């Protein structure tokens, strides 16, 4: 039984003092592979350094996070394009739309999301979608692509069961993480209703730690806590959660 964390930012400063311990702890708990979604040009070097240090465990992507979309967005997108052209990447992202913190650059976020969808198609890679307070807008953009969409993940899926079914119909997996352990989380109904064939596990560490670590730093080893919760909610063995979600991630990312 082993797991894949499909979304973790282990290259951030939050882990600078104990990174080796964090990765060793994850592997000891059978979280053997970790996808590292990029944020912007500043995070490429630390992400790549970490992947070079742990080539059997950590896997890089290329993308521009919506909250990093500012006035220099064209320069940032150009850097993403160059990464995809010149270096091994396992996905495009983290990209999408975020209207929670600031709507100043909404149009620029739309442009960058559209461009990264095109890049995912061009390089035949999955896309990692961030959709905070913007699920309607994202579905609208995806609709414009018609049947010519990449596959990928709705990271930290924010919607209800009907939204989940819509995302699945479009060919996407649902990223389920620590939020599923929160009281009254929509994700609880999703894991009870939606087949594991459409779900992958993620932490989004250092953010969104599961109960009982909510409010503290998250890390990839906590994937097992998330899996145990899903198993309990769905009344299935944790071994099944591990097996199916891991196969989904392997198929998606080619690792």
Peptide bond into 206 cis (omega under 30): yes
Q: How far apart are CA 176 and CA 79, in angstroms?
A: 29
Contact 82, 118 (CB under 8 A): no
Q: What is the mean pLDDT of residues 152-175?
A: 98
What tens digit of pLDDT does each residue of 52-90 get?
Answer: 999 999 999 999 999 999 999 999 999 999 999 999 999
Burial of 23 (0-12, 13-18, 19+ CB in 10 A): buried
Per-residue confidence (pLDDT) for residue 208, from 0 to 100? 98
Residue 101 pLDDT class (50, 70, 90 cuts): confident
What CATH number labels 3-253?
3.20.20.140
Regarding beta strands 31-36 and 92-98, do their DSSP bridges make them parallel or antiparallel, or are they unpaired?
Answer: unpaired
pTM above 0.95, yes or no: yes
Residue 238 pLDDT class (50, 70, 90 cuts): very high
Residue 99 pLDDT class (50, 70, 90 cuts): very high
Q: How far apart are CA 226 and CA 231, in angstroms?
A: 9
Q: What is the mean pLDDT of residues 213-237?
A: 97
- Non-local CB neighbours of 72 within 8 Å, separated by 6+ positions: none
Q: How many CB atoms lie within 10 A of CB 164?
A: 23
Buried b (16+ CB within 10 A) or exposed e, 84-97: beeeebbbbbbbbb
**What rounded mean pLDDT belongs to the chain?**
97
Q: How far apart are CA 255 and CA 51, in angstroms?
A: 13
Per-residue confidence (pLDDT) for residue 178, from 0 to 100? 98
Torsion of CA 245, 163, 177, 33, to 10 degrees: 40
Which strands sit side by side in the sheet containing 31-36, from one edge to the other?
3-5, 31-36, 58-60
Q: How many CB atoms lie within 10 A of CB 168?
A: 17
Domain range list for the chain? 3-253
Residue 118 pLDDT class (50, 70, 90 cuts): very high
Contact 127, 167 (CB under 8 A): no
Q: Is the pLDDT of residue 236 over 90?
A: yes
Q: Is the pLDDT of residue 162 over 90?
A: yes
Q: Is the pLDDT of residue 171 over 90?
A: yes
Residue 12 pLDDT class (50, 70, 90 cuts): very high
SS3 assignment, position 24 = helix
């Amino acid at each position: 039984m082993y797991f894949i964390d499909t979304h973790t930012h282990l290259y951030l400063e939050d882990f600078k003092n104990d990174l080796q311990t964090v990765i060793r702890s994850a592997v000891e708990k059978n979280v053997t592979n970790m996808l590292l979604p990029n944020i912007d040009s500043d995070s490429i070097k630390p992400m790549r350094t970490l992947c070079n240090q742990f080539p059997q465990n950590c896997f890089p992507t290329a993308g521009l996070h919506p909250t990093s979309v500012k006035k220099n967005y064209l320069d940032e997108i150009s850097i993403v394009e160059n990464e995809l052209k010149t270096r091994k990447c396992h996905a495009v992202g983290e990209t999408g739309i975020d209207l929670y913190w600031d709507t100043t650059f909404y149009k620029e976020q739309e442009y960058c999301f559209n461009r990264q969808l095109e890049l995912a198609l061009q390089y035949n890679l999955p896309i990692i979608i961030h959709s905070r307070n913007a699920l309607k807008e994202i579905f609208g953009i995806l609709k414009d692509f018609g049947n010519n969409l990449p596959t990928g993940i709705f990271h930290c899926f924010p919607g209800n069961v009907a939204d989940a079914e819509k995302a699945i119909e479009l060919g996407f997996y649902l990223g389920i993480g620590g939020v599923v352990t929160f009281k009254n989380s929509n994700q609880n109904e999703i894991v009870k209703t939606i087949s594991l064939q459409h779900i992958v596990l993620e932490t989004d560490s250092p953010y969104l730690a599961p109960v009982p670590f909510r409010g503290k730093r998250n890390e990839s080893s906590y994937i097992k806590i998330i899996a145990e919760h899903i198993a309990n909610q769905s009344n299935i063995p944790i071994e099944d959660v591990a097996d199916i979600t891991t196969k989904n991630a392997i198929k998606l990312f080619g690792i």
